[in-house]
Chains A and B, each alone.
Chain A
Amino acid sequence: MLELDRLSKTYATGDTALSQVSFEVPAGQVVGLIGPSGAGKSTLIRCINRLVEPSGGKVILSGTNLVTLRGNALRRARRRIGMIFQEYALVERLTVMENVLSGRLGYVPAWRSFLRRYSPEDVAKAFSLLEQVGLSDHFNKRADALSGGQRQRVGIARALEQDPELLLVDEPTASLDPKTSRQIMRLIGSACRKRNLPAIINIHDVLLAQQFTDRIIGLKAGEVVFDGKPEALTDQVLTRIYGDEDWTRMRGEENAGEESQPPTVDLAEGL
């Protein structure tokens, strides 16, 4: 369970990206974080695992406040939080396997990771995750030889290899086609449900967010302006978050055939 308490961030440039953001995410809940560009979504996610230093407030994960941690303690906290990036952020010149195994870096001593000597459990787990995301055949390929959708799957496997207690996802589908986007969202959603993982997913596509998350938080100019069920995301709410726009037209293009509850079994669907 994750709790944010009056989390604030003001960058050195003077931009206030977050002001006094508070909410809780119980175990197993997948939260969609929406908001216009520059609202502070990425900042919020990065403040949680301290890639960005918050300027005030608390981040409490299973009882420990992450904001005050330093050095090794911070390292141990980070390994409990899996992160999935927009542009995949794989280490391009390493193999797929090394990228997935890098999820264990917070657990193993430096010399072991240097020699690529991981325990059999870690390796077996990596193989099993690669199979779950449908990449069993590619483990010895270099990451830059994969397509965008495949790379994002490796990114997911890397995050899950960490045995996380929380998943942070920053625009996982921003550079993917609509079908692959859905597969990736479904993959993340089912992985969370299977492990009872809480997750925060930054996403620009409101329809995807409504379809694949349990709860939606709307952020605008660093403040929470909406927090509720996906169904409660009405046109007025969207206007409050994003400003005026013809929202009905957008919904009109929605594919009516899609189910709102994603299936949980078919992990590597559509490969």
Chain B
Amino acid sequence: MTSTSAPVWHYRTPKQTLLRWLGWFSLVALTVFSWQLMNENTIWAFVSDAPEQAADIGDRMFPPAWGYTGQLWQPLWDTINIATLGTLLGVLFAVPVAFLAASNTTPSTRFVRPLALLVIVASRSINSLIWALLLVAIIGPGLLAGIIAIGLRSIGFVAKLLYEAIEEIDTSQVEAVRATGASGAQVIDYAIVPQILPAFWGISVFRWDINIRESTILGLVGAGGLGIQLNASLATLAWNQVAMIFVVILFTVVVSEWVSAKVRQAVI
């Protein structure tokens, strides 16, 4: 006999069943409605044309312009610098924000904590490309705009994960250090920092890895790096150069993923 562990839905009351169906139904209805709303202006002729377009682009991409690589080293170096310096900048600001946002280290849950959480949400909601767009308009195109954009986006990400780690620490260790008569700074140094250090390194390297990917496109809006080259090649429809840039990006991303995996292994 196949008497398996009884699935949950055998125990559902009729009311729960009804609610479930209602939930599923409204999800489907909403999706269909959204689909129609979204495609009101879609020109289906272009869409049906896509396979030919794709074949055409594919055709022009091959072979990639290998000779173009020479012009990509400098932008690649810039891209890596944007990601690394931007991550450093973001982490620098994220650490204090995380301590202000964690409910067990914040100086005031009433005022400071909501403010820190707002900073985190604002930074997280806005993509680095949008930050770059704004910064290029404000301080002009170049690496600096890219670095600050990456930094601003990283603050929220790092601070969020870090403050969650801070809230999960073992409180008995904190109490023990406090009981020796340690001051606030010393409690952070001796009881909290050792506990969150692995998480800190893991999060930072993880974000750096993401930032490498993000910084490849910041150039599209003028914030330096490979994206500038990409933009230029796209503008002249030089698809074989675009393909070459993709190869370089792919290579960089694979390497950065490997580096970040190694560092995380070493730290934890």
Tell me if chains A and B make direct contact, with any CB pair below 8 A.
yes
Query: Taking beta carbons and an 8 Å cutoff, which residues of A are in contact with B?
Result: 49, 51, 72, 75-83, 85, 87, 89-94, 98, 102-107, 110, 113-114, 155, 158, 162
Within the complex, which residue of B176, B183, B191, B198 is in contact with A75, where a contact is CB–CB below 8 Å? B183
B183 surroundings in chain A (CB, below 8 A): 72, 75, 105, 110
Q: Within the complex, what minimum Cβ distance (angstroms) separates B240 from chain A?
A: 52
With A79-B181, A91-B176, A114-B189 already in contact, 9 other A-B pairs whose C-beta atoms are closer than 8 Å: A75-B183, A76-B181, A78-B179, A83-B179, A87-B172, A89-B173, A105-B186, A110-B183, A113-B190
A105 B180 Cβ-Cβ under 8 A: yes
Residue of A with least CB distance to B197: A93
- Distance between Cα atoms of A82 and B175 in the complex (Å): 12
B178 surroundings in chain A (CB, below 8 A): 51, 78
B181 surroundings in chain A (CB, below 8 A): 75-80, 105-107, 162
- Distance between Cα atoms of A79 and B185 in the complex (Å): 16
* B154-200 interface with A by 8 A CB criterion: 170, 172-173, 175-183, 185-186, 189-191, 194-195, 197-198
B190 A91 Cβ-Cβ under 8 A: yes
A-B residue pairs in contact (CB < 8 Å), sample of 8: A75-B182, A78-B181, A79-B180, A83-B180, A91-B191, A106-B182, A110-B189, A113-B189
- Distance between Cα atoms of A131 and B190 in the complex (Å): 23
Residue of B with least CB distance to A94: B194
A158 B180 Cβ-Cβ under 8 A: yes
B186 surroundings in chain A (CB, below 8 A): 105, 110, 113
Residue of A with least CB distance to B175: A51
Residue of A with least CB distance to B184: A110
A49 surroundings in chain B (CB, below 8 A): 179
- Distance between Cα atoms of A106 and B182 in the complex (Å): 5
- Distance between Cα atoms of A77 and B180 in the complex (Å): 9
A102 B197 Cβ-Cβ under 8 A: no
Query: Considering residues B185, B189, B190, which has the most beta carbons from chain A within 10 angstroms of its beta carbon?
Result: B190
Q: Within the complex, what minimum Cβ distance (angstroms) separates B108 from chain A?
A: 17
B180 surroundings in chain A (CB, below 8 A): 78-79, 82-83, 102-106, 158, 162
- Distance between Cα atoms of A93 and B173 in the complex (Å): 11
B177 surroundings in chain A (CB, below 8 A): 91, 102, 105
Q: Given A93-B197, A98-B190, does the pair A81, B176 have CB atoms closer than 8 Å? A: no
Residue of A with least CB distance to B172: A89
Q: Within the complex, what minimum Cβ distance (angstroms) separates B83 from chain A?
A: 29
A105 surroundings in chain B (CB, below 8 A): 177, 180-183, 186, 190
B176 surroundings in chain A (CB, below 8 A): 83, 85, 89-91, 155, 158
Within the complex, which residue of B175, B194, B195, B198 is in contact with A89, where a contact is CB–CB below 8 Å? B175
Q: Within the complex, what minimum Cβ distance (angstroms) separates A235 from chain B?
A: 35
B190 A102 Cβ-Cβ under 8 A: yes
Q: Within the complex, what minimum Cβ distance (angstroms) separates A116 from chain B?
A: 10
Q: Within the complex, what minimum Cβ distance (angstroms) separates B179 from chain A?
A: 4
Residue of A with least CB distance to B195: A93
Q: Given A51-B175, A83-B179, does the pair A110, B195 have CB atoms closer than 8 Å? A: no
Q: Within the complex, what minimum Cβ distance (angstroms) separates B165 from chain A?
A: 13
